[in-house]
Amino acid sequence: MGKYILKRILIAIPVLIGITIIDYGIMCLAGSPLEMLQGPRVSEGALEAKRIALGLDKPFYIQYFVWLGQLLRGNLGYSMKSYQSVSAMIGSHLGPTLLLMGVSLVISLLLAIPAGIYSAVHQYSKGDYTVVTLSFLGSSVPGFFLSLLLIYIFTVRLGLLPSSGMTTLGTSGGVADVAKHMVMPVIVLAASMAGSNIRYIRSSVLEILQQDYLRTARAKGIGRFKVIYKHALRNALVPIVTVIGMQIPMLFGGAIIIEQVFSWPGLGLMTMSAISNRDYPVIMGVCLLSAIVVLVGNLLTDILYALVDPTIQL
Amino acid sequence: MVISIVKAQDKNKSIATESYRQTVFRRFRRHHLAAASLIVLAVLCLAAILAPFIAPYEPDAIVGPFSGAPCKEFLLGTDQIGRDVLSRLLYATRVSLLVGVMATLLSTVIGVALGLAAGYFGGVVDMVIMRFTDMVMSFPYILLVLVAASIFKPGLWNIILILGFVDWPGIARLVRGNVLSLRETNFVKGNIVAGMPLRHILFSEILPNTVAPILVYGTSVLALSMLDEAALSFLGMGVQPPMASLGNMLNGAQSLTVLTDKPWLWIPPGLLIVVLVVAINFVGDALRDALDPNSEKR
């Protein structure tokens, strides 16, 4: 097990280095940061001095190694807009995003796991068709359109829910207030996640139900309930773990558009404003962070596999 | 009784002798929702292609009052600067379908080429290609698209290129997996022993046997890239006005007055996206079932 994890981490390192190169390449492609400073009041001499100070006069690969060295010391650079350090900005915006995405993920799983299993067990029944159709609808509705519909119904027409932010302005915002602000974004996110999860779990359970050991279990007459809830469900844990693993990267990157629509003060909103301000150090910091999260997520998924499935030897 | 047995035998006989294409068609038709979706898609595509002939007005011409409600003259009303919403909707469908189809074709070509190379040659080639695939997949999808859209000038062809260059890893993995198993089959080994040229083995033996899963996966990429185009255009980073796309027609709904008082401006394009994407997904699902050689008789 320890050896396997070590091996996986060693494989992940070249991928990560590749990602930093792509990151840095995009940053350079996007143009020199000095372009942001240019203006009638900035002299050529000052630009030249700045260029040397920032190390932009050196060749590309040296610049990359300087950047990488800074990165290894935990310095992600500074925002060009607010001059805050990127790591501090990410730190302060991470909480709301994790809260929003965590709650959505849990709710989508609570919906998808029973629905997917029900649908598989009752394959080709009316209930199955309903679940599958709804799941297609859930994953086909663009998040921003569903958000607009919900805002139209609950905020504009009924006046029940607030449509933007995390807390009501001017109040300290208790748990109830935050929860109220979360209802609509969570519905939108959970609907789209549940849509694809339901189909994935359904097809995995269907596959399990066709296995020989389940036929044996049925043949020995232990009853439908025990067959499904004991023999089938335990094996269905593997696909469920896969679903959770696939969703981990979504926890960070998935909510950009929804956060934008609902002005939820998370990483997505920060990234979106960084993108429109062309604040490259911030964008690169977020890209790097999410790439690490994806790699760690993949590793965790594989370890979880081994835990739920004793036949997988790592 | 006798007649029914004869009929059943007839049916079995016809199933036994039917061609692969007939089997696929018969299985596909069983999915009523998918068959209906296919008709809906055909109608919408036709409407999009024929937009210049059936649109009542020029899409970019100012022909009516500002933000006029739907009436006899303007069936879906007019937008903030007096353009006919129905005409714009037809042209927008055209643009959105074009983006989706072109991006899907591009990513399929890239994915198939890389997947074939990785799976067939193995070794170092496989290593490099698959690590590169891992890298592209490790970027959160929408973030990558947004960053790319911010660096390159947004516009119709750039959106197609961006989506095309981002969507391919799934297809590459799928093709590689299929090639790995096909390479071990006797007919491919036979070709290698017979000294057939590489081009023949790759494109005439291996590729045709992996078309079905690519087709199924392609439909989901099509649905996804249409959703992404809509999201990008909605955020103002996709297809740029005055050209209409389903996403940028929804852009106006970010303002509260449009959202509250002028539902005819944002509900039709939104619904159209939903209908298109749902229909594509249904068709894809039925195709998966119809093309799967292992699927049950049902």
Condensed to tens digits (0 to 9), the pLDDT of residues B261-280 reads: 788 888 888 999 999 999 99
| Alpha-carbon gap: B255 to the closest alpha carbon of chain A (Å) | 11
| Alpha-carbon gap: A152 to the closest alpha carbon of chain B (Å) | 7
B229 or A278: which leads in pLDDT = B229
| Alpha-carbon gap: A253 to the closest alpha carbon of chain B (Å) | 5
**C-alpha to C-alpha distance for B39 and A102, rounded to whole angstroms:** 40
Going by pLDDT thresholds of 50, 70 and 90, the confidence category of residue B297 is very low
pLDDT > 50? residue A231: yes
Region B177-182 average pLDDT:
88
A163 or B90: which leads in pLDDT = B90
Three-class SS state of A168: coil
pLDDT > 70? residue A314: no
Most confident of A2-16, A213-227, B17-31, B220-234: B220-234
pLDDT > 80? residue B174: yes
**C-alpha to C-alpha distance for B82 and B57, rounded to whole angstroms:** 11
pLDDT digits (tens, 9 = 90+) for A66-107: 878 888 887 777 777 777 888 888 888 888 888 888 899 899
Closest CA to A156 of B259, B67, B265: B259
Region A254-266 average pLDDT:
83
Using CB atoms, pick whichever of B135, B274, B285 lies closest to residue A15.
Answer: B135
Contact of A145 with chain B, judged by CB distance below 8 Å, is answered with yes
Angle, helices A175-209/A126-140, rounded to nearest 10 degrees: 130
pLDDT > 90? residue B102: yes
**C-alpha to C-alpha distance for A54 and B89, rounded to whole angstroms:** 50
**C-alpha to C-alpha distance for B99 and B97, rounded to whole angstroms:** 5
Which of A47-51, B44-48, B213-217, B266-270 has the lowest average pLDDT? A47-51
Closest-CA residue in chain B for A258? B231
B124 or A222: which leads in pLDDT = B124
pLDDT at position B10 is 59
pLDDT at position B50 is 87
Contact of A252 with chain B, judged by CB distance below 8 Å, is answered with yes
pLDDT > 90? residue A167: no
Contact predicate A195/A137, CB 8 Å: yes
Q: What is the mean pLDDT of chain B?
A: 83
Region A2-11 average pLDDT:
80
**C-alpha to C-alpha distance for B20 and A111, rounded to whole angstroms:** 39
CB neighbour list of residue A172: distance below 8 Å, 6 or more residues apart: none
pLDDT at position A251 is 65
pLDDT digits (tens, 9 = 90+) for A15-54: 888 888 877 777 677 666 666 655 666 677 777 777 776 6
Most confident of A43-57, B133-147, B172-186: B172-186
Count other Cβ atoms within 10 Å, centred on residue A109: 20
Going by pLDDT thresholds of 50, 70 and 90, the confidence category of residue B1 is very low
Q: Is B21 exposed, middle or buried (0-12, 13-18, 19+ CB in 10 A)?
A: exposed
Going by pLDDT thresholds of 50, 70 and 90, the confidence category of residue B16 is low
**In chain A, what is the straight-line distance between the N-terminal and C-terminal CA atoms, in Å?**
6
pLDDT > 80? residue A163: no
**Which residues does chain B have within 8 Å of residue A286's beta carbon, measured at their own beta carbons?**
143
Most confident of A61-75, A256-270, B136-150: A256-270
Region B291-297 average pLDDT:
61
A307: tokens are: 């835990």
Residues of B with CB under 8 A from a CB of A: 33, 131-132, 134-135, 137-144, 146-147, 150-151, 223, 227, 230-231, 234-235, 250, 253-254, 256, 259-260, 263, 266, 270, 273-274, 277-278, 281-282, 285, 298
Q: What is the mean pLDDT of chain A?
A: 81
B84 - beta bridge partners?
B78
Contact predicate B207/B157, CB 8 Å: no
pLDDT at position B98 is 92
Contact predicate A23/A67, CB 8 Å: no
C-alpha dist (Å) from residue A143 to A216, A304, B161: 44, 30, 23
pLDDT > 70? residue A313: no
Region A290-301 average pLDDT:
80
B154 - beta bridge partners?
none
Region A134-139 average pLDDT:
89
Region B143-158 average pLDDT:
78
| Alpha-carbon gap: B269 to the closest alpha carbon of chain A (Å) | 9
**C-alpha to C-alpha distance for A214 and A172, rounded to whole angstroms:** 56
